[in-house]
């Protein structure tokens, strides 16, 4: 390993985890993965994802990438935390009743408890504050339980608030005005965050195209007077800003040439199939606001309120700071003639140092090879 200042500023790679635990849950029978990417800045945090995967190994890949992105997210947000993620791999055909869901959450909770504070979880795709209350029955390392049991509740409104702050910054950088009124947006995914964004953008006077694979969400589109399109069409919509708010991997060498937007800014985690896709977007003149920068509102709010005892107003002010952070990143990128992705990574680099090499006894089942960077 090289020594000196350059080495000290090296960021952990996506496959450079401190701990990866994979276990078949004794109650649920499902594969549960907990990936702790880094605790260098503090306790690793990141949501618990409950999603369908063709095979549990796909869930491992997801956990590795998502937990690494959480390290970047926390660093850029200025949080004293590292990145982690819990993923439960649901086989495609399985449906869950109440008892099965509790069993899953207790399996997740026991794995978190065994990490002895290295990682704390919160809601993510497929889980909610009530699930966090179930996890809290077996470990205290959990965020966003419902307010009635002492947590800060659903984080999606705060995530959306951070994205809105980022959208103002993007519009300012790309169109010379932070105004959202009259701009055209396409929101891909009308889930918890996407629905908040759709309501906010409509109220701000923006023109909206929306989509979701769940066609029951069309009701919200009708309510808001938004144009409904199917997911493939919406991706190619002729809009000012595309707002990915569903799952990751949307932008690939195949989809980038189809895009007709000026900018992309949305909460979906891991939007690029590979980091190099940021260069393809840049070459097409499309400004990509790095997902981990602008989707940090939920985690910023939850940690401020639940860990640092800040008031909701103080926490909200921090969330809105995402707009300033993105403005700085877009400005740095322009000055250095690099992509916003590269400028964001440099900001993360300045805040993260490479953690100590993992102890072998911490890597219980799986330690993928280090990638070149």
Ligand X SMILES: NC(=O)c1ccc[n+]([C@@H]2O[C@H](COP(=O)([O-])OP(=O)(O)OC[C@H]3O[C@@H](n4cnc5c(N)ncnc54)[C@H](O)[C@@H]3O)[C@@H](O)[C@H]2O)c1
Handedness of CA 141, 320, 35, 254 (dihedral sign): positive
Contact with ligand X (CB under 6 A): which of 156, 316, 325, 339? 156
Q: How many residues form the binding site for ligand X (CB under 6 A)?
A: 26
- Decide whether 195 or 365 has the Cβ nearer to ligand X: 195
- Decide whether 45 or 169 has the Cβ nearer to ligand X: 45
- To the query of whether residue 335 is one of the catalytic residues in this protein, the response is no
Q: Does 247 bind ligand X (CB under 6 A)?
A: yes
Alpha-carbon Rg for the chain in angstroms: 20
Q: How far apart are alpha carbons 352 and 354 in whole angstroms?
A: 7
Scan for tokens 């700071």, then name that residue: 321
Footprint of ligand X on residues 180-239 (CB under 6 A)?
A: 188-194, 211-214, 217, 231
CB 297 → ligand X: shortest distance, Å? 7
Q: Collect all residues with Cβ–Cβ distance below 8 Å to 61 and sequence separation of at least 6.
A: none
156 membership: H or E segment, kind and range: helix 156-175
Neighbours of 156 (CB within 10 A): 22
Q: Token pair of 75, please?
A: 């660093």
- Decide whether 10 or 61 has the Cβ nearer to ligand X: 61
User: Of the listed 85, 334, 335, 367, which one is catalytic?
Assistant: 85
How does DSSP assign 36-62, residue by residue?
Answer: E---SSSSEE--EEEEE-SSHHHHHHH
3-state secondary structure of 281: helix
Q: Does 155 bind ligand X (CB under 6 A)?
A: yes
- Decide whether 10 or 236 has the Cβ nearer to ligand X: 236
CB 123 → ligand X: shortest distance, Å? 6
Q: Which stretch binds ligand X (CB under 6 A): 14-22, 129-137, 173-181, 267-275?
A: 267-275
CB 158 → ligand X: shortest distance, Å? 7
Footprint of ligand X on residues 320-349 (CB under 6 A)?
A: none
3-state secondary structure of 282: helix
CB 193 within 8 A of CB 245: yes
CB 41 → ligand X: shortest distance, Å? 18
Q: How far apart are alpha carbons 181 and 114 in whole angstroms?
A: 50
- Decide whether 214 or 283 has the Cβ nearer to ligand X: 214
Beta strands at 184-188 and 207-211: parallel, antiparallel or unpaired:
parallel
Contact with ligand X (CB under 6 A): which of 152, 277, 295, 303? 295
Catalytic residue positions?
85
Interface contacts to ligand X, rule CB under 6 A:
124-125, 155-156, 159, 188-194, 211-214, 217, 231, 245-247, 267-269, 295, 298
């Amino acid at each position: 390993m090289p020594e000196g200042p350059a080495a000290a500023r090296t960021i952990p790679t996506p496959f450079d985890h401190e701990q990866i635990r994979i276990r078949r849950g004794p109650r649920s029978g499902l594969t549960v993965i907990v990936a702790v990417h880094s605790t260098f800045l503090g306790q690793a945090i990141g949501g618990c994802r409950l999603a369908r995967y063709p095979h549990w190994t796909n869930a491992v890949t997801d956990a590795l990438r998502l937990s690494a992105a959480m390290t970047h997210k926390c660093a850029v947000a200025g949080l004293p935390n590292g990145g982690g993620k819990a993923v439960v791999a649901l086989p495609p055909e399985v449906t869950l009743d109440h008892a099965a869901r509790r069993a899953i959450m207790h399996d997740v909770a026991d794995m978190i408890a065994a990490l002895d504070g290295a990682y704390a979880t919160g809601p993510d795709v497929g889980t909610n504050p009530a699930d966090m209350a179930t996890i809290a029955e077996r470990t205290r390392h959990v965020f966003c339980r419902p307010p009635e049991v002492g947590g800060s509740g659903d984080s999606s409104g705060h995530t959306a608030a951070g994205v809105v702050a980022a959208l103002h910054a993007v519009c300012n950088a790309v169109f010379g005005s932070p105004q959202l009124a009259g701009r055209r947006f396409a929101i891909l995914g009308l889930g918890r965050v996407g629905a908040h964004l759709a309501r906010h953008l409509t109220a701000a006077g923006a023109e909206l195209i929306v989509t979701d694979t769940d066609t029951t969400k069309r009701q919200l589109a009708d309510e808001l007077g938004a144009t409904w399109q199917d997911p493939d069409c919406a991706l190619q919509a002729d809009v000012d800003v595309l707002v990915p708010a569903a799952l990751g991997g949307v932008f690939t060498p195949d989809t980038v040439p189809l895009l007709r937007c000026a900018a992309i800014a949305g909460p979906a985690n891991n939007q690029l199939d590979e980091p190099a896709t940021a260069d393809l977007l840049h070459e097409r003149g499309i400004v990509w606001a790095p997902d981990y920068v602008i989707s940090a509102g939920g985690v910023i709010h939850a940690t401020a309120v639940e860990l640092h005892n800040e008031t909701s107003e103080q926490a909200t002010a921090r969330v809105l700071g995402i707009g300033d952070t993105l403005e700085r990143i877009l400005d740095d990128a322009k000055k250095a003639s690099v992509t916003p992705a590269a400028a964001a990574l440099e900001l993360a680099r300045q805040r993260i140092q490479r953690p100590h090499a993992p102890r072998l006894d911490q890597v219980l089942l799986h330690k993928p090879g280090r990638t070149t960077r």
